Structure 1
Amino acid sequence: MASSGYGDANQKIDYVFKVVLIGDSAVGKSQILARFARNDFSLDSKATIGVEFQTRTLVIQHKSVKAQIWDTAGQERS
């Protein structure tokens, strides 16, 4: 099972996953990232400009897994 910890900067990384969040503007991509990476949630968030990046390291089945997550600016609907 995944640990609730955020990992140790000096630990060995067994796997790295790179994930890009894409979708329409104002659907919650940044909030999903904030909750996962920092266990944070805010009702007062601003639109992402360009791209933001965060990481989190978990231990899953005794393996260290690092998630690198890119949050993109949303696509306006027409």
Structure 2
Amino acid sequence: MAPVSALAKYKLVFLGDQSVGKTSIITRFMYDKFDNTYQATIGIDFLSKTMYLEDRTVRLQLW
């Protein structure tokens, strides 16, 4: 049985001017799609994705 590795957690914060594509980049990464009709984000948007790599599991928190 392979040893269980600890879950590594990383927070990624996307900063930039309004309407430059921050949410579009996150949506593309999370869902592998691009939405041309996306409405502007009001407030804070947060998503989390767990990725299973060759030798470890990583959880990304995208802000």
State TM-score, norm by structure 1. Answer: 0.68
- Count of aligned residue pairs for this structure pair: 59
Which residue does the alignment assign to 1:57? 50
Give the superposition deviation at 1:46.
0.9
Give the superposition deviation at 1:60.
2.2
The match for 1:41 among 11, 34, 51 is 34
State TM-score, norm by structure 2. Answer: 0.82
The match for 2:60 among 39, 52, 67 is 67
Cα RMSD after superposing both structures: 1.5
More strand, by proportion: 1
Give the superposition deviation at 1:61.
3.1
SS at match of 1:52: coil
Query: Structure 1 regions of 5+ residues with no counterpart?
Result: 1-11, 71-78
CA distance in 2: counterparts of 1:13 and 1:35, whole angstroms: 27
Dislocated runs of 4+, deviation >3 Å: none
Give the superposition deviation at 1:40.
2.1
